[in-house]
């Protein structure tokens, strides 16, 4: 079950060239099990047909405040009460001004006035309009009133100019919807997550690393953010893009990860090390490419920094969770690692299995706790596993 499953979302679409992107937003919301009701303004209908949004949402599209059928149920009140979340994407300068001024002269502005649900606004307009004093003031006033914004991207606009004003990436908009609708079991908490592999240089073109994709660590960071935490993600070299609404620190080596995690952990309530930190590094990296003809076949190795052990040795009141990616004696190795590094919990999985190993989008784990209990989590998508791990950690250590 996703964060959006079973949620009722009212999506307002106003008149701008970015209105066509509402189709992708509706598709993404519906794919995750949300019920979507679209309100299309008169100006919005000049850019996209109601039938398109009706086909995608599988619900009627609402356009008229005085529609006799919907108003027989007091349609604007029914929509306002139905919503778990209200979104407006794109949100023009006009609708921002209306909401700020308390104007309710069409269906969309009336529903905004009547709803008690959180409202998410994704502005899109010409860059000079967005920078105008009136729009800037309206945005700040609405933020102060509790409206949530996904700020526009900086880029080429339909009018040919370049600057901030392009509708934010639809994935960012939908992710903020997930954040607004998720349980806030980590509200007020600061969380640090280590993710991905590290790379230990041999020379300028070669390095030691491992097969970690970083997917599980990124999923832990995203889940914590959805649950309300202030999250810092320390990520080694991966092909994954930085997750939205999370402070991400990119590092390369174990030493760099050690420094970044230690710095962020100073005020953290919980640290989760899902990173696959290299156990060894070359004693010294060659400043020049090592030539095959002159290589003597030896690369002296030394142990890398043990980040988990260092954190466990000075744990204080922090909750410390580790991961154990094992290929044999998974239980024994995981429990021994938890004890040796003074962890509160460890998440163990068998990476020799191709269906849950490196690069997989799914995982199946057992979570061991320092009090001797354990929790089995059946195979599921990594974001679902991450949510379940956080719920278990919160029940145990972060009530």
**pLDDT surpassing 50 at residue 323:** yes
Same topology between domain 8-181 and domain 190-397: yes
As a whole number of angstroms, the distance between CA 283 and CA 121 comes to 53
Find out whether 70 and 36 touch, Cβ atoms under 8 Å: no
Find out whether 217 and 148 touch, Cβ atoms under 8 Å: no
Q: Across residues 155-163, what is the average pLDDT?
A: 67
C-alpha distances out from residue 398 to 179, 183, 281, 310, Å: 19, 14, 36, 22
Q: Across residues 7-35, what is the average pLDDT?
A: 97
C-alpha closest to that of 273 among 330, 324, 200: 324
Share in percent of the chain as helix, strand, coil (round to 5): 35, 25, 40
231-266 residues labelled b (16+ CB within 10 A) or e (exposed): bbbbbbbbeeeebbebebbebbbbebbbbbbbebbe
Q: Write the burial class of residue 398 (CB in 10 Å: 0-12 exposed, 13-18 middle, 19+ buried).
A: middle
**Domain 8-181: CATH superfamily, name plus number:** Flavin prenyltransferase-like (3.40.50.1950)
End-to-end CA distance of the chain: 23
Residue 3's pLDDT is what?
A: 86
Residue 80's pLDDT is what?
A: 87
Catalytic, 394? Answer no
* pTM for the full predicted model: 0.93
SS3 35: strand
Of 174-183, 204-213, 353-362, minimum mean pLDDT range:
353-362
Cα-flanking dihedrals φ and ψ of residue 62, to 5°? -95, 130
**pLDDT surpassing 60 at residue 68:** no
Residue 157's pLDDT is what?
A: 65
**pLDDT surpassing 50 at residue 138:** yes
**Domain covering 190-397 in this structure, CATH number:** 3.40.50.10300
CA angle 358, 361, 362 (to 5 degrees): 90
Residue 153's pLDDT is what?
A: 86
As a whole number of angstroms, the distance between CA 349 and CA 159 comes to 52
Confidence of residue 158 (pLDDT cuts 50, 70, 90): low
Percent of the chain with pLDDT over 90: 85
Q: Across residues 165-193, what is the average pLDDT?
A: 96
Of 160-164, 190-194, 196-200, minimum mean pLDDT range:
160-164
Strands (E), 259-326: 270-273, 280-282, 301-303, 319-326
Confidence of residue 74 (pLDDT cuts 50, 70, 90): very low
**pLDDT surpassing 60 at residue 70:** no
**pLDDT surpassing 70 at residue 64:** yes
Q: Which residue has the higher pLDDT, 296 or 235?
A: 235
Q: For the residues of 158-206, what is the DSSP string, one character each?
A: TTS-EEEEEPPPHHHHHHHHHHHHS--TTTT-EEEEEESB--EEEETTE
**Which candidate in 23, 30, 159, 394 is catalytic?**
159
Residue 88, CB half-sphere, CA atoms under 13 Å: how many? 28
Find out whether 115 and 80 touch, Cβ atoms under 8 Å: yes
Q: Across residues 229-257, what is the average pLDDT?
A: 97
Percent of the chain with pLDDT over 70: 95
Q: Across residues 128-147, what is the average pLDDT?
A: 96
Listed by start position, the domains of the chain span 8-181, 190-397
Find out whether 87 and 28 touch, Cβ atoms under 8 Å: no
| Chain mean pLDDT for the chain | 93
**pLDDT surpassing 50 at residue 37:** yes
As a whole number of angstroms, the distance between CA 353 and CA 336 comes to 22
As a whole number of angstroms, the distance between CA 130 and CA 381 comes to 39
Residue 294's pLDDT is what?
A: 87
């Amino acid at each position: 079950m996703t964060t959006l499953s079973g949620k009722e979302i009212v999506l307002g679409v106003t008149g701008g060239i970015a209105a066509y992107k509402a189709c992708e937003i509706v598709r993404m919301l519906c794919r995750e099990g949300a019920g979507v009701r679209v309100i299309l303004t008169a100006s919005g209908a000049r850019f996209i047909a109601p039938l398109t949004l009706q086909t995608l949402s599988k619900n009627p599209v609402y356009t008229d405040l005085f529609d006799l059928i919907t108003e027989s149920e007091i349609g604007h009140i029914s929509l306002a009460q139905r919503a778990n979340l209200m979104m407006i994407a794109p949100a023009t300068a006009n609708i921002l001004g209306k909401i700020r001024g308390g104007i309710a002269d069409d269906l969309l502005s009336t529903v905004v006035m009547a709803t008690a649900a959180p409202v998410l606004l994704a502005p899109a307009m010409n860059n000079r309009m967005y920078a105008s004093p009136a729009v800037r003031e309206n945005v700040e006033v609405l933020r102060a009133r509790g409206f949530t914004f996904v700020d526009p991207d900086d880029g080429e606009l339909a009018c040919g100019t370049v600057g901030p004003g392009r509708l934010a990436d639809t994935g960012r908009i939908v992710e903020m919807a997930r954040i607004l609708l998720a349980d806030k079991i980590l509200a007020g908490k600061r969380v640090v997550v280590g993710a991905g592999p590290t790379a230990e240089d041999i020379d300028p073109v070669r390095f030691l690393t491992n097969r970690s994709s970083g997917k599980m660590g990124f999923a832990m960071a995203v889940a914590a953010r959805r649950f309300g935490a202030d999250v810092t993600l320390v990520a080694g070299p991966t092909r994954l893009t930085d997750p939205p609404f999370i402070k991400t620190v990119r590092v390369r080596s174990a030493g760099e990860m050690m420094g970044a995690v230690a710095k962020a952990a100073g005020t953290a309530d919980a640290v989760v090390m899902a990173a696959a930190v290299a156990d060894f590094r070359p004693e010294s990296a060659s400043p020049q490419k090592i030539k095959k003809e002159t290589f003597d076949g030896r690369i002296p190795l030394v142990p890398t920094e043990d980040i988990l052990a260092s954190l466990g040795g000075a744990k204080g009141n922090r909750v410390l969770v580790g991961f154990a990616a094992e290929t044999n004696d998974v239980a024994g190795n995981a429990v021994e690692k938890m004890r040796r590094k003074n962890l509160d919990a460890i998440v163990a999985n068998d990476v020799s299995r191709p269906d849950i190993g490196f690069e997989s989008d799914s995982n199946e784990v057992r979570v061991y706790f320092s009090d001797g209990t354990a929790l089995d989590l059946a195979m599921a998508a990594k974001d679902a596993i991450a949510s379940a791990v956080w719920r278990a950690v919160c029940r145990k250590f972060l009530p």
